[in-house]
Structure 1
Amino acid sequence: MAHFDEKSGLVPCATPWGSWSQTIDEVFIEVNVREGTRSKDIKFNITPSKLSLRVSGELLFEGKLAGNIVADESVWTLEDRKLIRLVLVKSGREASNCWQSLLIGQYECDPLVFNEMEKKLTLERFQRENPGFDFSGADISGNYHKGGPQLTADD
């Protein structure tokens, strides 16, 4: 059985070095590097709240993560010696934990991309709550900010 994000796709946030996207559980980072890069050229430093990546001595990014992660469960791979894929496991795993930026003050999504990310995480939450239904092709409208419909005093 395919996971929700495999059927519905992810919403990427473009960056100068590649892109990042997220699900309820994970943050995916794709970094384009010079062809021929070797794993020994990569220095990846991760803690539950900070991340840095150096390739061939050049700092690509460094800073405080927008949310906490489980550093011991996060991994990276080098594909075809030209693409680094990082998978960060979020410590807060609920639809309301939608990161607006990868690092605080850096690589922030524009409002339309963030809106789409929030919608995907909300649909993913619906899928988990209703495992017999397929929400991968669904679209939602209304107020789904922070992982679900919000009730106001007027409701």
Structure 2
Amino acid sequence: MTHFDERSGVIPCKTEWGFWWQTMEEVFIEVASNQILNAKEVKCNIKPRAISLSIQGATVFQGDLYEPVHADDAVWTLEDKKMVRICLSKVHSTAAHCWPSLLKDQYRADPVTFDEMQKKLTLQRFQFENPGMDFSNAAMTGNYQNGGPEMPS
């Protein structure tokens, strides 16, 4: 069975070290290296409310996560000896909990990217609520806030 994200793609937030993206349930981080790495050169520390990553002794990022994660369910991998991938399981796994940034004060998505992230999570919620229907190619219009259309004042 193909997952929603495999059919609909991801909405990445680019950073100086790579990028991050999210689904309703998870946050993914990818950090590319120009050098060949061994797993022992990667130090990834994941706590429910904080994360740090260093490669070859240099800190890539560290800080408080935007929202808490299930640290025991988090996993990181080194792929092709050049790519560190981290998967974090969100504590609050609903479309209303779309992270505007990876860390509390760092790696914020620009307004257009964040709007696209919210639309994608809303479509994912519709897919979850209506498992027999395919929303992967659906298009949403309007500005989104907290997993639903923004209501006029």
1:116 maps to 2:116: yes
CA distance in 2, matches of 1:56, 1:143: 42
CA distance in 2, matches of 1:141, 1:61: 34
Q: Give the TM-score of the pair, scaled to structure 2.
A: 0.96
Question: For structure 1, which segment, 49-58 or 27-36, has the greater mean C-alpha deviation from structure 2 after superposition?
Answer: 27-36
1:126 maps to 2:126: yes
* Aligned-residue offset at 1:145: 1.4
Number of matched pairs: 153
Superposed CA offset, 1:7-41 (max 9, x none): 00110000000000000000000001232111000
Aligned-residue Cα RMSD (Å) equals 1.3
1:14 maps to 2:10: no
Q: Which runs of 5+ in 1 are unaligned?
A: none
Superposed CA offset, 1:86-113 (max 9, x none): 0000000000110000001101010000
* Aligned-residue offset at 1:142: 3.1
Letter in 1 for 2:117: M
Superposed CA offset, 1:130-151 (max 9, x none): 1111000001113531112355
The residue number in structure 1 matching 2:70 is 70
Q: Which runs of 5+ in 2 are unaligned?
A: none
Q: Give the TM-score of the pair, scaled to structure 1.
A: 0.94
Q: Name the SS of the counterpart of 1:16 in structure 2.
A: coil
- Aligned pairs for 1:87-102 (under 5 A) are 87-102=87-102
Aligned-residue identity in percent: 52
Superposed CA offset, 1:54-81 (max 9, x none): 1111000000000110000010000111
Q: Name the SS of the counterpart of 1:7 in structure 2.
A: helix
